[in-house]
Amino acid sequence: MDGHLFEFYALGGDCSLQFITPSRSLAQDAAIAVEREVARIEARYSRYRPDSELSRINDIAAIGGSVVVDAETAGLIEYAYECFRKSDGLFDITSGLLRKAWNFHVGVLPTEKMIAELLPRIGLSKADWSNPRLTFGTAGMEIDLGGIGKEYAADRAAQIAGATGIENGLVNLGGDIRVVGRGELPWRIGIRHPRHPDRSMIVVELAS
């Protein structure tokens, strides 16, 4: 078996695919299919693209309206609500508005007044979800799927790679990792030390 590495940029970071297969052409075909799927997901759910599905939803959220979504988007919203419930509201896809208060480029904490002005428009409990309709109870809200979007893309990438014929591989989308298939040995993943980026803090083993 040979290892094949493919690198590309997507979802705001460096991504890589490692496929273990004797066929270089199979690995290339799988990599092309995976990159295409990741690009599709990014185009649909990027908050930076005015033509994305997420922007369409947020245009309606801005006026406190109601929007019907497709099955794929509904699945992500269902998952977001489940995370919201299980975390007692700590994981909240409406909290992205707080980036208007935090400026990580200058390293200055926001004032309490800046945060207080945003809080009335934050809270997934202020939106009503009745699949496939999402209704925003407060104007000026928005949702941000960044907290689950890359994980979803990694899951889809692994599914696409497996469907293409890859039996052993690793998907790394900017740190969101998913194993493909079953290899003879587990994949060893190093977690970078936050204060010493040149070495790993711990190594974990992953297997599908």
pLDDT tens sequence across 124-169: 999 999 999 999 999 999 999 989 999 999 999 999 999 999 999 9
The yes-or-no verdict on residue 57 having pLDDT over 80 is yes
**Residues 99/69/44/141 CA torsion (nearest 10 deg):** -10
- Residue 119, Cα to own-chain centre: how many angstroms? 24
Same domain for 82 and 128? yes
Same domain for 122 and 85? yes
Q: Are 180 and 166 in contact (CB under 8 A)?
A: yes
Same domain for 113 and 65? yes
CATH number, domain with residue 139 = 1.10.3980.10
Same domain for 80 and 129? yes
Alpha-carbon Rg for the chain, nearest whole angstrom, is 20
Q: Are 160 and 133 in contact (CB under 8 A)?
A: no
Percent of the chain with pLDDT over 70: 99
Produce one character per residue of 114-149: b if its CB has 16 or more CB atoms within 10 Å, e if not.
Answer: eeeebeebbbbeebebeeeebebeeeebbbbbbebb
The mean pLDDT value for 74-92 works out to 97
This prediction's pTM = 0.89
Domain count, the chain: 2
Same domain for 138 and 184? no
Question: What six digits make up the tokens of 105?
Answer: 């480029």
Predicted confidence (pLDDT) per residue in 2-30, tens digit = 899 999 999 999 999 999 999 999 999 99
Residues 6 or more apart whose Cβ sits within 8 Å of residue 12 = 174
Among 143, 162, 184, where does a domain finish?
Answer: 143
Task: Please give the angle made by the CA atoms of 152, 156 and 159, to the nearest 5 degrees.
Answer: 145
For strands 133-136 and 127-130, give the pairing.
antiparallel
Same domain for 59 and 135? yes
Q: Domain span at residue 85? A: 53-143
Query: What is residue 102's predicted lDDT score, i.e. its pLDDT?
Result: 86
CATH number, domain with residue 190 = 3.10.520.10
What are the φ and ψ backbone dihedral angles of 102, each rounded to 5 degrees? -90, 130
